[in-house]
Structures are given as C-alpha cells and as structure tokens.
Amino acid sequence: MIKKLSQIDKYFIIAFFIGLAIRLIAIPFAMSSGGDSVVRIFIAQEWMKDPAIITSGVWGPLHTYLTAGILYIWNDTVYAPLLLNCIFSASVAIPLYLFVKREWSESAAFFVACMYLLFPVGIRYGLDTLTELPFIFFIVLAILFLSYARSEQGNWKHALIAGLMITIAGSLRYESWGLTPFLGLLLWKKWKEMFLFFVISAIFPIFWMTGNYLEYQDPFYSFNWSVDWVTNVSGFAEGVTIIDRINRFLFYPRALIFGLTPLAFLVCCAGIFFVLYYRQKQWVWIIPFVALSGTYILNAVRGEFSTQVRYSINLAIFMIPFAAEWYVRQKENKRFLYSAIVLISILPLSYLHYIIPWPFDFPHPVPHQVSPIPRLDEAAVNISKSQIRISEEYPGGLLLDFYAWDETYYIALMSRKDPSSIFIMPGEEHEPIELERLEKFLENNPSGILLLTETHRYIEIQSTNDGEQIMITGYPKLLFIERVEKVEDVTFYKYTLNP
C-alpha cells in the first residue's frame, strides 16, 4: 500500500516544484558556457542522422542518447537540452530527500533537500548541457537503494537496483567506476548482496572496455585519451610551478567552500564532525566522499585531471547529506531559525567572486563558475548576434577561428547551423587541426562566413592583386576572403574556396 504523505512530505513536494520552476525560469537568461556542452549537442545531432548502439569512444554513450531523445521531442538545440538538464538538476532532490529521510529524519531530509535545491553550482550546471547532473541523479538513486540493502529488511532486489543505477551512472561519467568498490564495501555484512551489486555494476564497464578494445585495441582508451588530452594537448602539465601545484591542491576544497557557499559548507563539515565524534552509523557514507575527493585532488596536482568547478558537484552530493546531522543536533526551538539563516545565505553568498575585489596577480579564491546562472560578457553576445545576421546574408558554412573556449562554442551553438556546416579551429596549446574533417567541411561548404580573431594562430592572410586570401596550416588549398565587418575584436569575412 502507498503510505499517506506526511505534512513534511507535502512541504518537500512544494519545495521541489519551486526549485524546478526557478531553474526553468532561468533558462532564457543562461548561456551555454563551455566547449564540452556544445560538442555534446553536436554529437547527439550527428548520431540522430544514423542512430546505432554506441560501443566505444571517449565519452560514455548515455548522454548522447538522452540529448538526442529530447531533441527528437523538441528540435531546439539551444533550449531543449537545457530543459532536460534542468529536470535532472531538480530531480536529484527526490532520491536525496528519501535517502536522508531513511538515514536521519524527515525534517532533516527537508532541510537537506532545500539546501541542494539552492546549491548554486547545481543550479548553474543544470542550465548547461553536461553530464554532472544526470550522473549524480543516478548516483543518489544508487546510495538510496544501498541504504535499503544495508538495513535488516534489505534484500538482493535493493542491491540489484543499486548496482543497476551505478552501471547507468557509469555510462555518463567514469567516476562511478572508481566509486563502485567503495560503495560495494558498504554491504560488507551481506556478502550475497555485495557480490550481486558488483556483478550488476560491472555490466557497462565490461561492455565499454570490450568495445574500446575491439575498436582501438585499448580497453582503457577513454581514460588514456583523457589523460593524454590534459597532460599533452592542453599543456596543463607544462611549466607547473610550486604555486600552481598549491593552487591545484586547494582548488577542489575552494570549489566546495564557495560552491556550497561558506555557511552551508561549514554546516556540512559540522555534520561530518558530529557523525565521527559521536560514532553515528552514517559515518560509512563518508567513505565514497573521501575516496573521490582524494582522487580528484591527487590527479589535479599531478597534472592528469583538469580543475573544473563542475566536477565539484560530484563531491558536493556526498557532502550535503551530512548537513542533516548538524540539523538534528540543534535545539528544536532553534532549528527553524538556524536552518533558515543557512538557506537564505546561499544565493547571496554565491556571488562572492564579484563582491570581493581581487587586484592581485593570482587566481581569485572564489571561482567565477560558482554563480547560479552561466553568463558570458556582452562582447560574445554582440559577436553572436552579428554572426546570425551576417549568415542570413551570406549562407553556407561557418568557419570559426578560435576566440575563447566559452565564447567560440557559444557562437557556434547560437548559429543553429547543422554541425556539418561548422568548423572550429583548435584552441588548446598543442591541439592539431583535424585536416580530414576540415577538408570534408570545405567540400560541403565551399563558401560561407569566416570569423577571424586578431591572433589567428592557424590562419595566414595573404594579399594579392585579386584580393585577400587565407592559407590554413596543413591545408593545400587557398580560400578567397572578402571583409564584411568588424565586431568587437573579431572580423567577419565572406570566404570562398579556391577551386
């Protein structure tokens, strides 16, 4: 039988829909703020042209399926993927509420769910097309069913569902592969359930490693490609000073402090302290948090893992539940006041990056990506609007010289062109031009618009009697260009391939 909802359950449902509404209302003001998010949309668009089971590659396949699914329902490459991520972003609160309700109390669960729904980084990346929010949705479902499996009434069905959630999460982000042994060990008193959990959670990793071995003769291709990109292509591991290593060591702690916001972070830390000091049963849930935090920090210091605020979401979701322990240890007549102060402080404190002046030649202690809504500067918006207007006058391909990571890919996305009609010059330190893809692009788009920056690293402009032309590094043919207009610090040209 379905249990009757309690008053707090009803309050949670209201809070959930308010949290979802906040995210949906913010969609028109959000700007996709990273190359990965736009590339994922492009990959989904290309996959939709020839759908098939993805068996190998760098990124797991589930996000491609999810993005393609929402694009099939609503064919809007700008807003449809954001809608999907907003739903995932808010929906994480549901299994989180149920988990904390089981492990602590109903009122503590309501407080923790509200804290998550206001979590600035969770809101921000719910307004982007990345994997972190769908990933933590399945991770929290996994720990919820692990909580059931660990109890006296728990059985193999709970362990099976937990393993299934982990293997689904593993098809989004590979952190779940490393988390699996630490989560599975929480069933140490139930060997049969532990074994079943490990078997089910290994389904996708085995499938993916087999596919990569057959395709690339390397079962760990995804990991090796990522490490090579960070260490060799991006130059992240080059010229690293002691100051750089200290900054990398402190990056994820800083991302948590200012991502959760300082007061909420202290509440979570106090909860962890109380759990350990009073030897509460919930201490076991600290294990995956410590394991993942250590992995992130160690690999960041070694230069094998980039420092991105969005990755801190995967850490925060293991930390936030411990706010419940702080909550239950407050005097009942003070709980509402104290918890209200914490919740009210979250959104204002998420703008500390802009509030605290920082004239020093050293990274700002507050990463700018902790603010709730991803925004770009006015220059990028002006360039994007000009590109749309100019492309209407000069249809064809869109050849983008690399401008900046967020801005270049934002311009590409807002063009709403098919990915086959867009080519973006490399942006990383040692990233080569994909000449085969460039050749195919120019064959299919022999004319169009070129956006040229002032540096144009891979493009050489030549003046001739017939006008200006450009030579692209490694590409044998010339492109004739005709200046259209300059916008901000970039120049638009009409290009025509020299036959």
CA pair distance 338, 108, nearest whole angstrom: 13
CA pair distance 68, 47, nearest whole angstrom: 8
pLDDT band of residue 28 (cuts 50, 70, 90) is: very high
Percent above pLDDT 70 for the chain = 99
Q: Which stretches of 188-315 are assigned E, i.e. beta strand?
A: none
As a whole number, mean pLDDT of residues 346-375 equals: 85
Q: Is 162 helix (H, G, I), strand (E, B) or coil?
A: helix
Spell out the residues 6+ positions from residue 56 whose beta carbon is closer than 8 angstroms to its own: 208, 211, 212, 214, 215, 216, 221
CA pair distance 256, 307, nearest whole angstrom: 12
483 phi, psi to nearest 5 deg: -65, 130
484 phi, psi to nearest 5 deg: -100, -60
CA pair distance 219, 212, nearest whole angstrom: 5
Spell out the residues 6+ positions from residue 463 whose beta carbon is closer than 8 angstroms to its own: none
363: closest CA among 233, 258, 260? 258
* The residue to which tokens 């291709």 are assigned: 221
* CB of 398 closer than 8 Å to CB of 422: yes
Please determine, for residue 359, whether its predicted confidence score (pLDDT) is greater than 80: no
Counting DSSP H helices and E strands in the chain, the numbers are 23, 7
Residue 444: predicted pLDDT: 96
| pLDDT digits 0-9 by tens, 114-152 | 999 999 999 999 999 999 999 999 999 999 999 999 999
Please determine, for residue 2, whether its predicted confidence score (pLDDT) is greater than 60: no
As a whole number, mean pLDDT of residues 347-376 equals: 84
The CA radius of gyration of the chain, in Å to the nearest whole number, is 25
* CB of 409 closer than 8 Å to CB of 436: no
Structure tokens at 139: 């991770």
pLDDT band of residue 356 (cuts 50, 70, 90) is: confident
The pTM of this model reads 0.95
Spell out the residues 6+ positions from residue 396 whose beta carbon is closer than 8 angstroms to its own: 421, 445, 446, 447, 448, 449
Please determine, for residue 405, whether its predicted confidence score (pLDDT) is greater than 90: no
Residue 371: predicted pLDDT: 85
As a whole number, mean pLDDT of residues 9-25 equals: 97
Structure tokens at 349: 């404190």
